């Protein structure tokens, strides 16, 4: 394993080393979950440039080790800390969120759960099942392992079955109704395997990987008024802010591929002149294609969570088990490692509505944590985190530019729980949380009485109404108004945001951008629904799937040209 890591680290180099005006057959913007997969695939036969705005994940224990994940949560990255693997953003809803800025993308900073899309989702996307299967297997043999099943995760699994989330499907990659033990990109030794590991399979002679290479815009040839604009290259800056240009070699099959994620890809399209012409005019950006769907249908799966303090020590675990209900709710959990109360946005510790969650509030929590006694800190560390996720929310929002500076986050609003059906789904999730806490499987993890964690963190505030068991605050189901308000007030994210370049509206079935030539978007921004309980498996699969299809299509096209000659 060490040799592979050294090879991967040496393969990537800082963008300052790359000469300007270099030429390639494919330029992939974004070295994340999709970008690494498609770059590795295309490099089997063609010259590929992969541009990643962050550094590599190798040598960073917070990324590489399961027990280091709490450090990623404690990290407070700012938009200016360009060496951080995480870029913080806060949606206009008020929810604090994070996007990846590192080779491997979200797979380098997430909780590791690996789960395929359902058969229905594969059909809805128009993908070929056999090719999808082959693409998943290509990814899995390189990075996936069975998830661990310690005492807490075993209790969660058994409790879900006892709460009626049946059947018990055991260990499986599949996204099917019931309770399952899934797979993870953390191996049995607790080492993370990110999408960057897929580059081990690339052709070193044909692939160039540049880190700290921040794409500024896509370059178009618009000289022929009778034809659609054609992507010809990418302008990017290096870590010293020097400007470089990478160009496509001559050839109609050569392309630029955007894989910059659900925020990055629509943002780059807008900055490059593809989007609502009216919106682009606000920033004096030349509009090449009037495509108002860019930045539309932005969705983030809302989660609501409770923290359960245990009288017994808990193993350090991330997501291993999923309860997939027939009511649109997914239940998951983590334990130990002191991250259970540091989840992004503080999870159910958010007694303030999202728009009231200020930096001062977070500072207050951190101050109160520092002032706790060592015994109380140990008690809090000895806790488990259970979340309820709305699997297929209807509520959606928009993404727009805030400036022409690509390093600044765009404006994004997800409109959590604005659709009443999503609120009803959350209430059903609360019912499952109530049932789960009462199951025999969880009785060994419950105090009879314990000071609520909220009271420890906010001692100056009076208690809220609702049930408090084992430190968890959970609303009274008899009061639907209170429960609905709890859903809205404690909403947070699990980073499954998607949309902005939706399939059928911004890109066609082959992921080619409408209205231009030689440009595709291949990542989660094309999704209308986050597939599986964690989308990373499907995003990596998509990169491989589209890459293989592009190779096949190109081979056919080249054979056709050769036969005519």
Q: From CA 522, how far away is CA 500, in angstroms rounded? A: 12
Q: 3-state DSSP call for residue 341?
A: coil
Collapse the DSSP code of 201 into the 3-class scheme (helix H, G, I; strand E, B; otherwise coil) and give the result.
helix
Active site residue 496: yes
Active-site entry in 96, 193, 288, 496: 496
DSSP assigned state of 102? B
Report the chain's terminal Cα–Cα distance, integer Å: 48
Three-class SS state of 152? helix
Contact present, 68 and 62 (Cβ < 8 Å): yes
Query: Measuring CA to CA, how many Å separate 444 from each of 15, 230, 270, 448?
Result: 54, 63, 54, 11
Enter the DSSP assignment of 37: H
Provide the annotated binding site for FAD: 102, 495-496, 524, 535-536
> Angle CA(96)–CA(101)–CA(106) in degrees, nearest 5?
75
Q: Binding site: residue ranges?
A: 102, 495-496, 524, 535-536
Kindly report the backbone phi and psi dihedral angles of residue 129, in degrees, each rounded to the nearest multiple of 5, phi listed first: -55, -40
| Contact status, residue 495 vs residue 98, Cβ threshold 8 Å | yes
CB 332 within 8 A of CB 389: yes
Instruction: State which H helix or E strand residue 360 sits in.
Output: helix 359-371
Which long-range contacts link 367-374 to residues 24+ away (Cβ below 8 Å)? 368/456, 368/457, 368/458, 368/459, 369/457, 372/456
Please calculate the CA angle 533-538-541 and round it to the nearest 5 degrees.
155
Give alpha helix (H) positions in 115-244: 119-125, 129-143, 151-162
Give the catalytic positions in this structure.
496
């Amino acid at each position: 394993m060490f040799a592979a890591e050294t090879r991967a680290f040496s393969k990537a180099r800082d963008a300052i080393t790359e000469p300007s005006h270099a030429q390639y057959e494919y330029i992939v913007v974004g070295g994340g979950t999709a970008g690494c997969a498609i770059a590795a695939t295309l490099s089997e036969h063609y010259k590929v440039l992969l541009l990643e705005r962050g550094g590599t994940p190798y040598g960073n224990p917070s990324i590489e080790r399961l027990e280091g994940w709490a450090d990623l949560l404690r990290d407070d990255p700012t938009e200016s800390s360009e060496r951080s693997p995480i870029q913080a953003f806060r949606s206009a809803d008020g929810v604090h969120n994070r996007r990846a800025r590192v080779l491997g993308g979200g797979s380098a900073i997430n909780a590791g759960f690996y789960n395929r899309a359902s058969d229905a989702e594969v059909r809805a996307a128009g993908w070929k099942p056999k090719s999808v299967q082959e693409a998943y297997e290509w990814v899995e043999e390189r990075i996936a392992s069975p998830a661990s099943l310690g005492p807490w995760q075993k209790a969660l699994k058994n409790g879900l079955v006892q709460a009626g989330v049946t059947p018990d499907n055991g260990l499986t990659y599949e996204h099917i109704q019931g309770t399952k033990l899934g797979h993870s990109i953390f191996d049995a030794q607790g080492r993370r395997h990110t999408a960057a590991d897929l580059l081990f399979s690339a052709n070193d002679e044909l692939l160039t990987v540049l880190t700290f290479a921040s794409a500024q815009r896509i370059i178009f040839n618009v000289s022929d008024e009778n034809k659609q604009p054609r992507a010809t290259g990418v302008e990017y800056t290096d870590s010293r802010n020097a400007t470089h240009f990478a160009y496509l070699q001559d050839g109609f099959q050569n392309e630029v591929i955007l894989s910059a994620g659900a925020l990055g890809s629509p943002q780059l399209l807008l900055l490059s002149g593809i989007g609502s012409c009216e919106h682009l005019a606000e920033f004096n950006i030349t509009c090449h294609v009037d495509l108002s769907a860019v930045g539309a249908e932005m969705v983030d799966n809302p989660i609501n969570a409770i923290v359960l303090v245990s009288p017994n020590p808990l193993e350090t675990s991330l997501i291993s088990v999923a309860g997939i209900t027939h009511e649109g709710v997914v239940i998951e959990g983590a334990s130990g490692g002191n991250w259970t109360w540091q989840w992004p946005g503080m999870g159910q510790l958010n007694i303030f509505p999202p728009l009231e969650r200020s930096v001062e509030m977070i500072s207050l929590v951190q101050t109160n944590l520092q002032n706790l006694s060592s015994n109380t800190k140990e008690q809090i560390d000895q806790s488990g985190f259970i979340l309820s996720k709305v699997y297929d929310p209807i509520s959606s929002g928009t993404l727009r530019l805030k400036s022409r500076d690509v390093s600044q986050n765009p404006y994004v609003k997800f409109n959590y729980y604005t659709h009443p059906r999503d609120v009803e789904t959350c209430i059903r999730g609360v019912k499952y949380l109530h049932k789960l806490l009462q199951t025999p499987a969880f009785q060994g993890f419950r105090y009879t009485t314990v000071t609520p964690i909220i009271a420890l963190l906010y001692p100056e505030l009076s208690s809220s109404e609702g049930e408090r068991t084992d430190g968890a605050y959970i609303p009274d189901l008899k009061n639907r108004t209170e429960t609905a308000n709890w859903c809205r007030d404690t909403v947070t994210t699990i980073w499954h945001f998607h949309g902005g370049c939706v399939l059928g509206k911004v890109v066609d079935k082959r992921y080619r951008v409408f209205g231009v030539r030689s440009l595709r978007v291949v990542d989660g921004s094309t999704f209308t629904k986050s597939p599986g309980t964690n989308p990373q498996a499907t995003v990596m699969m998509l990169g491989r799937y589209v890459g293989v299809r592009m190779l096949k299509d190109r081979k056919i096209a080249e054979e056709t040209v050769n036969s005519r000659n």
